Amino acid sequence: MFKGVVVSTLASVLFASLYYLSPFLAPLDGEQIFGWRVLMTLPFTTALLFALKQAEAVRALLARSLAWPRFGLLLVLSAALLGVQLWMFMWAPMNGRALPVSLGYFLLPLVMVVAGRLLFAERLTPGQTLAALVAAAGVAHEFWQAGGMSWETWVVALGYTLYFALRRWLKTDTLAGHWLDMALLLPAALVFVLRAPGRWPLVAGHEALWALLPLLGVVSAVALALYMVASRWLSYVEPALLVVVAGLLGERLQPQQLPTYGLIFAAVGLLMVDGVWHLWRGRSGNVY
């Protein structure tokens, strides 16, 4: 369990580093950075795919899509859902929206718990139920004082939940499925990178980008590899680091937002404690 915490924490640090790196990729905009991230990440993810001998699993998914065209369309939808999140992750820090997106990542594990109950009939533990109620109180406070949550928060919390639920239903929640999502995003990535005259000279004219763009791909691919190793811990650590990065980029919580964030932070803390408790009981041989 300790190794899992260390690995997932390192993955979270790398994802937070991507968040922090985004503004340094100017003069590229959010769409171009999304495109370059896909182009730079895919080669490293492909190497990981072959290293873990998952290429045959990709061929199986492609054969399944040919035999069942509807499955192929759902694969395209899965890639599109992921693409929105990859774009949002790189766009937000460049446009002063890092905090709302970070709040979406805090809400994500809670929304996924509720989705597991509603979509897959999973039983909620008492700790998960309490966490969901505390988070709901935080959301209710935000609606009361601001008239609603920001659209960026909902795109992350609901969009990622839909993405993960779809992958689970399609049985593509594997490295092979993720690689296929990234590969299907290649056309959109190329459009964003080459969409207007002078875009390639824009990169060629900024020597710093020659190092930063490959770094973007390496960090993204390594973070993914670590995520595959210890994904169940990741969602508890990463959002806190994203809030720290938002602070480093100059964004600040307003006093009226403190109860909202405090309640949602507390809810995620309850989920983490609940997860640690059940892992400990499982390792102790208890049945729950």
Are 106 and 268 spatial neighbours (Cβ–Cβ below 8 Å)?
Answer: yes
In this predicted structure, the answer to whether residue 197 has a pLDDT above a threshold of 70 is no
Closest CA to 46 of 186, 173, 170: 186
- pLDDT digits 0-9 by tens, 132-173: 777 778 778 777 776 667 899 899 889 988 998 999 899 998
pLDDT grade for 287, boundaries at 50, 70 and 90? very low
- The answer as to whether 288 is a domain residue is no
- The answer as to whether 207 is a domain residue is yes
Global pTM value:
0.79
In this predicted structure, the answer to whether residue 90 has a pLDDT above a threshold of 80 is yes
pLDDT grade for 76, boundaries at 50, 70 and 90? very high
Q: What is the pLDDT of residue 239?
A: 61
Q: What is the pLDDT of residue 282?
A: 62
- Give the DSSP H/E element, type plus range, for residue 259: helix 258-283
Instruction: Provide the residue count of the chain.
Output: 288
In this predicted structure, the answer to whether residue 237 has a pLDDT above a threshold of 70 is no
Assess whether the previous peptide bond of 126 is cis (omega < 30° from 0). Answer: no
111: Cα separation from own chain's centroid: 14
pLDDT grade for 23, boundaries at 50, 70 and 90? confident
Fill in the DSSP letter of residue 149.
-
Q: What is the pLDDT of residue 181?
A: 93
Which is more confidently placed, 120 or 92?
Answer: 92
Lowest mean pLDDT, pick from 9-18, 143-152, 242-251, 274-283: 274-283
In this predicted structure, the answer to whether residue 199 has a pLDDT above a threshold of 70 is no
Mean pLDDT for the chain?
79
In this predicted structure, the answer to whether residue 6 has a pLDDT above a threshold of 60 is no
In this predicted structure, the answer to whether residue 233 has a pLDDT above a threshold of 80 is no
In this predicted structure, the answer to whether residue 186 has a pLDDT above a threshold of 50 is yes
Which is more confidently placed, 98 or 3?
Answer: 98
Structural domains of the chain, count: 1
- The answer as to whether 27 is a domain residue is yes
- The answer as to whether 79 is a domain residue is yes
Half-sphere exposure of 155 (CA within 13 A, CB side): 19
- The answer as to whether 144 is a domain residue is yes
- pLDDT digits 0-9 by tens, 203-229: 666 777 788 888 888 888 887 767 665
C-alpha–C-alpha distance, residues 37 and 105, integer Å:
20
Lowest mean pLDDT, pick from 9-18, 92-101, 217-226: 9-18
- The answer as to whether 176 is a domain residue is yes
Q: What is the pLDDT of residue 278?
A: 64
Q: What is the pLDDT of residue 146?
A: 62
C-alpha–C-alpha distance, residues 278 and 270, integer Å:
12
Q: What is the mean pLDDT of residues 243-263?
A: 73
Q: Which domain holds residue 246?
A: 2-283
In this predicted structure, the answer to whether residue 4 has a pLDDT above a threshold of 60 is no
- pLDDT digits 0-9 by tens, 38-56: 998 899 889 888 988 999 9
Are 251 and 98 spatial neighbours (Cβ–Cβ below 8 Å)?
Answer: yes
